[in-house]
Amino acid sequence: MSEPTPRRGVAERIAQTLRSSIVKGRFRPGDALPSERELAEKYDVNRSSIREALKRLEAWGLVQIRQGGATRVTDFLLSAGLELLPHLMEATGKVDPTILSDVHEIRAMLLGWCAEQAAQKADAASMNRLDELVRKMIDAKGKPQLLQELDYDFFQELITISGNRVMGLFSNVVKDVYLKGREQFLSLYAKGVFDPVHHKKTVEAIRARDSRGAAEAMRAHARTALETLEARA
């Protein structure tokens, strides 16, 4: 009852441990990991479990496994996917402010693009759904968790309107990043901080078929969020 992840599976736990070691730099890119048999003995589990853990690391792009040769650590900044982001942000124990800035730059790009597309393609029903979301945001003032979800729903609705399936796949990954790091962003939605003005402006611009205005409003939203976070750091 004391451990944080008692029922999470041996393989998963070991995979997380190794991932942490790699991200924190205890293994350098190019280094060879201990052999599966050694790791099995070290963690006192079966080799099968070690294999499963290593397979996950491989899927995450953190190591390269080659039959006959050793399993080597890759330069994960050159091979890992976005799903590594939450762990990268926590590598030093607290959020790295420079990465936070990078994240919000990308966020601004994505939101801006989606808003632009939405202004060109939205139908009446979609616009009403967006209105509804803004209304809920106003009602939810002071409920951080709810506001956070509504903010994400707004993004999701924009993607749906854009009709771009590739953006849809992309948002799946973003969602995972978002859920795993949600506490780190929760302060953004605290009482007196979050204001859906930009969302409101966005919907108005979409109704007016003003792509540029919609995009700019969403970018402003992302920019505001970053400034808020930086001010608190």
Partner DNA sequence: CGTCTCCCAGTGGTCGGACCAGAGCGTACT
Partner DNA sequence: AGTACGCTCTGGTCCGACCACTGGGAGACG
Residues that bind DNA (CB under 7 A): 7, 9-12, 33, 35-38, 45-49, 51-52, 54, 65-71
Taking the complex as a whole, the smallest distance from the CB of residue 113 to a second copy amounts, in Å, to 5
Taking the complex as a whole, the smallest distance from the CB of residue 58 to DNA amounts, in Å, to 8
Report what 146 binds from a second copy, DNA, none; CB cut-off 5-8 Å by kind. none
Taking the complex as a whole, the smallest distance from the CB of residue 81 to a second copy amounts, in Å, to 5
Nearest to 221 by CA among 173, 167, 150, 120: 150
Taking the complex as a whole, the smallest distance from the CB of residue 149 to DNA amounts, in Å, to 25
Per-residue contact string for residues 24-63; x = within reach of a second copy by CB under 8 A: ------------------------x--xx--xx--x-x--
* DSSP 3-state of 7: coil
Report what 84 binds from DNA, a second copy, none; CB cut-off 5-8 Å by kind. a second copy
Establish how many alpha carbons lie within 13 A of residue 135's alpha carbon, considering only the half-sphere containing its beta carbon: 6
When asked if residue 179 is in the footprint of a second copy (CB under 8 A), the reply is: no
Instruction: Calculate the alpha carbon distances from 37 to 21, 42, 56, 75, 227 in Å.
Output: 19, 9, 17, 24, 49
Q: 33: which 2 tokens?
A: 């990991």
Q: 158: which 2 tokens?
A: 């924009």
Taking the complex as a whole, the smallest distance from the CB of residue 88 to DNA amounts, in Å, to 25
Question: Which own/partner contact pairs does 63-69 have at CB distance under 8 Å and 24+ positions apart?
Answer: 63/22, 63/33
Per-residue contact string for residues 111-150; x = within reach of a second copy by CB under 8 A: --x-------------------------------------
When asked if residue 91 is in the footprint of a second copy (CB under 8 A), the reply is: no
Residues in the chain: 233
- Report yes or no: 112 and 219 within 8 Å, Cβ to Cβ: yes
* DSSP 3-state of 72: strand
Which of 64, 79, 211, 228 lies at the binding interface for a second copy (CB under 8 A)? 79
Please compute Rg for the chain using Cα positions.
21
Which of 16, 21, 64, 164 lies at the binding interface for a second copy (CB under 8 A)? 164
Contacts with 225 (C-beta within 8 Å, 6 or more apart), sequence order: 104, 107, 185, 188
Q: Which is nearer to DNA, 40 or 118 (CB)?
A: 40
> Which residues contribute to the site for a second copy (CB under 8 A)?
48, 51-52, 55-56, 59, 61, 77-85, 88, 99, 102-103, 105-106, 109, 113, 164-170, 172-173
